[in-house]
Amino acid sequence: MNQSNGALMPTFANCLICFAAALLSISTSAAGQALRDPTIAPAAAGMFDSSGAQQDEALKSGSISVMTRGGVHYLMHGTRLYAKGQRIGSARIERISETEVWLRDDGQLQKIPLFNGVQRRAAVAPVAPKKPSVAPVLVRPAKITP
């Protein structure tokens, strides 16, 4: 009997140590993250207060894109679609194109590019290579005798 109890004790102690280590690692990882209110939309989705300053800052950060539906351009900001004439915060959308959005805020017109560092230009026609100035060689067909 003593031999079987002696063999079980190190195994039970090892299990207890493993359980304590697992419990400790779980408790430290949970404490590392702050709990957030599930009733408030996350900031990454572009949902902010109704204050215009936060909305304008979000538009400058490059979190917008343009979608064309039926030939009409729409501004996609966060999870919402905006058309020309609608308001984002205190700014009104004046124009939406493929590469930029124009906003009017307090009488000032502001252009927001969709792609930083990219500019549209007319394509340059490729230059055809010059033909070499070599005289053509005349080759006469061979005569076939019957």
Query: What residue numbers bound the domain in which 95 lies?
Result: 45-113
pTM above 0.75, yes or no: no
Strands, sheet with 91-96, edge to edge from the N-terminal-most edge strand: 87-88, 91-96, 100-105, 108-113
For 99-138, write each residue's pLDDT tens digit.
889 999 888 998 888 887 777 788 888 888 777 677 667 7
Q: How many domains does the chain have?
A: 1
**Is residue 141 assigned to a domain?**
no
**Is residue 126 assigned to a domain?**
no
**Is residue 27 assigned to a domain?**
no
Measured CA to CA in angstroms, residue 61 lies from 58, 70, 77, 78, 128 at distances of 5, 28, 11, 12, 43
**Is residue 89 assigned to a domain?**
yes
**Is residue 51 assigned to a domain?**
yes
Element (H, E) at 56: helix 52-60
